[in-house]
């Protein structure tokens, strides 16, 4: 099986990083000392040494000079340019999306008579049947307890759905409030469609209202009673193929890990659309967890403990954005503080 252009590029970039790290060690310098000699922030030398950030030609020259190894610079610059050109090639291959790449393997798949998968510690995706997934999720719920124990209702519901652009909005958004409801309407897809986000204040709804049909009817009724475009909005909600509605709620847990299971993203610390940042928390959480696991090979307990320790403040500051100013946005200072409440350097 030929290796993908991406993995070759990663190997080449890692080789450059390893050579720079070697020079640093030979010179008896720590990453901080090297950064100080180059006049950089300490995180820059760490990112370059770990191959996370590709060094520029000037970075490599400064690095070699700081290590007293100027004569290595030209060679490492050539290797680095070679690695980066592989990334360019990989991006060009993918510029039209993944479809063409995937289709290339279709003939091989069609010719295949025997397909073997070896996985030492996880169930391969194709065997994750509905029964398996249900069992797995039940085991996780049993370990942590029912969701109701951790879900904190924030006093309102949010519905989102699409409609044709019956308002003829032309790159303009509309935001309105009407009593205890409010909505934002934005045109998308070259102004051919609308995305309508409709919020209404409400205590947690009774269970029988949580099924899709009853919830949609509730939203339709609320929209129909609006003073502005109520009938048209209600009709759009009734017909929308992508109708969504759920409570604004946060998941707050004292501990994200039990045994070998740990939670990340919405499962462990959903912040709600009121604060935004849910995708960032999920992606950053995945990055930090992977980093902690890599730093503690074979010791998931320490990795999970470190993951929680690093992520907790970031999660707390971001979740607090939803409750800081009820009915309005959090202050710009709080948003800036929350976004920067974590360094990705381990
Ligand atoms: C209306 C709305 C607007 C939002 N706007 C923003 C925004 O502007 N910016 C922002 O950063 N965040 C926003 N978010 C939040 C963001 O979408 C989430 O925080 C983020 O997607 C969480 O990622 P996740 O991977 O943890 O969970 P998810 O993205 O929910 O992924 C979980 C996956 O698990 C799958 N799954 C669930 N149960 C099962 C099962 N039994 N078997 C198999 N698969 C299962 C689901 O289908 C889903 O694909 C918004 C959320 C909502 C609801």
Closest residue to atom 21 of ligand 1, CA basis: 279
Indicate whether residue 279 lines ligand 1 (CB < 6 A).
Answer: yes
pLDDT (tens, 9 = 90+) of the chain, 346 residues, equals 445 667 788 888 999 999 999 999 999 999 999 999 999 988 899 989 988 889 999 999 999 999 999 999 999 999 999 988 887 777 777 777 777 778 888 899 899 998 887 777 677 777 788 888 888 888 888 889 888 899 999 999 999 999 999 999 999 999 998 888 999 999 999 999 999 999 999 999 887 666 778 999 999 999 999 988 999 999 999 999 999 999 999 999 999 999 889 999 999 999 999 999 999 999 999 999 999 999 999 999 999 999 999 999 999 999 999 999 887 889 999 999 999 899 887 6
CA atoms within 13 A on the CB side of 172: 6
Closest residue to atom 5 of ligand 1, CA basis: 273
Domains and CATH numbers, the chain: 5-93 (1.10.260.40), 148-250 (3.30.9.30), 252-339 (3.50.50.60)
* Cα dihedral 277, 283, 287, 293 in deg (nearest 10): 110
Read off φ and ψ for residue 30, nearest 5 degrees.
Answer: -90, 170
The residue behind tokens 């029912």 is 146
Indicate whether residue 280 lines ligand 1 (CB < 6 A).
Answer: yes
Let me know: does 60 contact 77? Beta carbons within 8 Å: yes
Indicate whether residue 201 lines ligand 1 (CB < 6 A).
Answer: no
Beta-carbon contacts of 12 under 8 Å, excluding residues fewer than 6 positions away, are 79, 82, 83, 86
């Amino acid at each position: 099986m030929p290796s993908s252009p991406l993995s070759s590029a990663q190997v080449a970039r890692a080789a450059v990083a390893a050579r720079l790290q070697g020079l640093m060690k030979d010179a008896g310098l720590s990453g901080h000392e090297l950064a100080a000699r180059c006049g950089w922030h300490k995180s820059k030398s760490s990112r370059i040494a770990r191959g996370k950030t590709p060094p520029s030609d000037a970075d490599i020259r400064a690095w070699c000079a700081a290590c007293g190894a100027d004569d290595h610079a030209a060679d490492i610059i050539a290797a680095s340019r070679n690695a980066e050109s592989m990334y360019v090639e990989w991006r060009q291959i993918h510029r039209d999306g993944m479809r063409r790449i995937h289709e290339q393997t279709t003939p091989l798949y069609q010719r295949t008579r025997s397909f073997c998968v070896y996985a030492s510690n996880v169930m391969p995706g194709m065997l994750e049947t509905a029964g398996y997934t249900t069992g797995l999720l039940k085991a996780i719920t049993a370990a942590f307890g029912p969701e109701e124990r951790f879900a904190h209702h924030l006093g309102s519901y949010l519905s989102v759905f699409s409609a044709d652009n019956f308002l003829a909005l032309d790159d303009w958004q509309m935001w309105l409030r009407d009593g205890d409801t409010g909505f934002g309407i934005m045109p998308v897809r070259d102004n051919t469609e609308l995305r309508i986000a409709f919020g209404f204040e409400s205590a947690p709804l009774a269970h029988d209202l949580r099924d899709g049909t009853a919830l949609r009817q509730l939203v339709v009724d609320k929209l129909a009673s609006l003073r502005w475009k109520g009938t048209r909005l209600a009709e759009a909600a009734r017909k929308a193929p992508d109708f969504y509605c759920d409570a604004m709620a946060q998941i707050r847990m004292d501990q994200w890990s039990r045994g070998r299971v740990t939670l990340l993203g919405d499962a462990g610390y959903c912040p709600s659309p009121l604060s935004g940042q849910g995708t960032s928390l999920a992606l950053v959480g995945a990055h930090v967890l992977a980093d902690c696991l890599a730093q503690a090979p074979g010791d998931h307990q320490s990795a999970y403990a470190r993951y929680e320790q690093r992520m907790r403040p970031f999660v707390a500051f971001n979740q607090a954005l939803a409750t800081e100013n009820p009915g309005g946005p959090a202050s710009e200072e709080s948003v800036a503080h929350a976004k920067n409440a974590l360094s990705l350097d381990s």
